[in-house]
Chains A and B, each alone.
Chain A
């Protein structure tokens, strides 16, 4: 696949912004590269080439807030915790020519910012939201997030998470989103295609990307080395087509990946 022959060079990354701040083994670096590979040599729905100058990238607070800002060589807006979709909504309405992409974490988008997420989906405003889901609050030291699976340990659930996790894709779909997908960072190639499709989707589009956190989630749950976490994601992932024929019990603890909803 041609996009992986390209080195993500300084045309796409702001000079002086590297090295990235991510921990060893964090999946967010893979996601960063995937988004840039999607945009590199991308065309819009009419076949017109797009450049970084056509985009505005908006992020919230947390580890995922560092994926686009300061790295992406484009207009970037690093906002307050939970609010990137609301900032992006204003920017998009004020300048509809901008391709506006929101990239933030599971805590930012589904806990503190959950209200903005569901209402953006309901409005079907032309934004692309990419949720980097590491199933934990990484930046603040490994606290439980709405996406932490039940029973898993975090620094605020020392004997295991007593609560159920959100299925963020289902939440967004129920709120009215027409374009919903979920991938894991180990599925980088289909993820590149999916990001391009999402950006050219006319209306609200949502992609959840599972991304491992060895520093907190992996360590607190004794999941092993970074590679073991990727392996764990691989094992838990099940394609959406296959999941359709599986029972709820069979799907327990699994991650359904693929294009979940498309108009």
Chain B
């Protein structure tokens, strides 16, 4: 008998967070992510954690960052409109290197758009939504199991690199109900602590004290030196800080990035997909293979940092590259940047899961 339990994607992400040690949640209701918050409201008190429904998304992410600095593993969940409100403070989490996890369940936009329908329009919002130069990490689940697994991984990456990590799900995966195995234990990473050491420099990812430990930590979103003193007029300190915040992610991209290859060994057609559309793409590859087309799939489990090496390698020698996605080509542009020639984007912007048929058709029409 399988250990799998029938679970919803949002619930699985909440359980993954708890397994990873999350003990603080602040959020604001928004479709299609609210079930995650409701699950946390019930479960966190059982585990001695704290839950609060804040007055808006700006306050939610602020409370998450405050809790992170007070020593807790903390998360929030939202959707596009809420994420837009969080962006300034996501920059604060980047700048103060506060580990936190943001589950963004993508719905069709812009604005209120189709509140209950799936999309993948926030790929660039999670990457560039706050102002300034910075790097974040974004993971893209395609199943309920991965909502659990990637939620765990999101916390571990956040703690390792002291950075906000996005679990970038879509409405379809978040509301999907399917089997999910919750293991007895999961690998858990905790932020590094070295009392007396500088919390904002000296090494790529400095140790992180918490409020209340007597470290008299000085936290600011302004440009600061390694001890947290504001140095907002010093060009050298600004450059050092901005470069370190980015390089701690880019230099470790090979450890962060995960992709999955299907039927790529002999393929001459490459499909690059992520999220729920990777499932449609799997089906498309199977049908195309039956038709005699040598198609293969590269599934991006990490979207940011962008899996440049894996995409470049997979694209070698392919006569056609197809990027199906539920937006007008956000990842297709990234793939073009990496492979340095045109790719075909199969754009699904109807608020429906992009089906295998248009992907198959695009391959056949570009034969």
Known: A70-B228, A80-B92, A116-B55. A86 touches B70 (CB 8 A): no
Q: Which of B183-191, B200-208, B211-219 contacts A (4 or more CB under 8 A)?
A: B211-219
Q: Which residues 87-141 of A sit at the B interface, judged by CB distance below 8 A?
A: 87-95, 97-98, 115-116, 119
User: Please, which residues of chain A bring their CB within 8 A of the CB of B52?
Assistant: 89-90, 93
Within 8 Å by CB of B24, from A56, A79, A93, A116, lies A93
Within 8 Å by CB of A77, from B66, B72, B89, lies B66
Within 8 Å by CB of B62, from A17, A76, A79, lies A79
Residue of B nearest to A123 (CB): B52
User: Please, which residues of chain A bring their CB within 8 A of the CB of B71?
Assistant: 94-95
Q: Which residues 65-102 of B sit at the A interface, judged by CB distance below 8 A?
A: 65-72, 74, 88-89, 92
Residue of B nearest to A98 (CB): B212
A83/B59 in contact, CB under 8 A:
yes
CA distance A69 to B220 in the complex (A): 8
Within 8 Å by CB of A83, from B23, B58, B69, B228, lies B58
User: Please, which residues of chain B bring their CB within 8 A of the CB of A182?
Assistant: none
Q: Which residues 162-214 of B sit at the A interface, judged by CB distance below 8 A?
A: 210-212, 214
Within 8 Å by CB of A70, from B59, B63, B88, B230, lies B230
Residue with the highest number of chain B CB atoms closer than 10 Å, among A58, A78, A92, A98: A78
CA distance A53 to B218 in the complex (A): 13
Contact string against A for B residues 216-243, beta-carbon threshold 8 Å, 1 for contact and 0 otherwise: 1111111000001110000000000000
A90/B24 in contact, CB under 8 A:
yes
Within 8 Å by CB of B210, from A78, A83, A95, A116, lies A95
User: Please, which residues of chain B bring their CB within 8 A of the CB of A35?
Assistant: none
A116/B212 in contact, CB under 8 A:
no
B62/A90 in contact, CB under 8 A:
yes
CA distance A93 to B24 in the complex (A): 8
A89/B92 in contact, CB under 8 A:
no
A93/B67 in contact, CB under 8 A:
yes
A75/B230 in contact, CB under 8 A:
no
User: Please, which residues of chain A bring their CB within 8 A of the CB of B58?
Assistant: 83, 86
Nearest chain B CB to A121's CB is how many angstroms away? 11
Residue with the highest number of chain B CB atoms closer than 10 Å, among A73, A75, A89, A90: A90
CA distance A86 to B52 in the complex (A): 11
CA distance A14 to B230 in the complex (A): 13
Verify if A191 is at the interface (C-beta below 8 Å from B).
no
Known: A70-B228, A87-B63. A94 touches B55 (CB 8 A): no
Verify if A230 is at the interface (C-beta below 8 Å from B).
no
User: Please, which residues of chain B bring their CB within 8 A of the CB of A70?
Assistant: 218, 220, 228-230
Residue of B nearest to A72 (CB): B216
User: Please, which residues of chain B bring their CB within 8 A of the CB of A78?
Assistant: 218-222, 230
CA distance A89 to B60 in the complex (A): 10
Contact string against B for A residues 181-221, beta-carbon threshold 8 Å, 1 for contact and 0 otherwise: 00000000000000000000000000000000000000000
Verify if A180 is at the interface (C-beta below 8 Å from B).
no
B55/A119 in contact, CB under 8 A:
yes
User: Please, which residues of chain A bring their CB within 8 A of the CB of B50?
Assistant: 93-94
Nearest chain B CB to A28's CB is how many angstroms away? 16
Contact string against A for B residues 143-177, beta-carbon threshold 8 Å, 1 for contact and 0 otherwise: 00000000000000000000000000000000000
Nearest chain B CB to A59's CB is how many angstroms away? 9
CA distance A78 to B230 in the complex (A): 10
B63/A75 in contact, CB under 8 A:
no
CA distance A98 to B213 in the complex (A): 10
User: Please, which residues of chain B bring their CB within 8 A of the CB of A16?
Assistant: 229
Known: A16-B229, A87-B62, A90-B62. A52 touches B89 (CB 8 A): no
CA distance A56 to B218 in the complex (A): 10
Verify if B309 is at the interface (C-beta below 8 Å from A).
no
B66/A75 in contact, CB under 8 A:
no
User: Please, which residues of chain B bring their CB within 8 A of the CB of A56?
Assistant: 70, 211-212
Q: Which residues 261-294 of B sit at the A interface, judged by CB distance below 8 A?
A: none
Verify if B352 is at the interface (C-beta below 8 Å from A).
no
Residue of A nearest to B50 (CB): A93
User: Please, which residues of chain A bring their CB within 8 A of the CB of B63?
Assistant: 86-87, 89-90, 93
Known: A91-B66, A95-B211. A74 touches B220 (CB 8 A): no
CA distance A16 to B52 in the complex (A): 38
B216/A90 in contact, CB under 8 A:
no
A69/B74 in contact, CB under 8 A:
no
| 21 A-B residue pairs with CB within 8 Å | A52-B216, A53-B212, A70-B218, A75-B211, A76-B218, A78-B220, A78-B222, A79-B62, A80-B89, A83-B59, A86-B62, A87-B62, A89-B52, A90-B66, A91-B69, A93-B50, A93-B67, A94-B67, A95-B211, A115-B56, A115-B59
Q: A86-B59, A86-B66, A94-B66 are in contact. List 20 more A-B contacts (CB 8 A).
A: A70-B230, A76-B217, A77-B211, A77-B219, A77-B220, A78-B218, A78-B221, A78-B222, A80-B92, A83-B62, A90-B24, A90-B64, A91-B67, A91-B211, A92-B66, A94-B71, A94-B74, A116-B59, A116-B62, A119-B59
Lowest 3 A-B CB distances belong to which pairs?
Answer: A90-B66, A90-B63, A86-B62
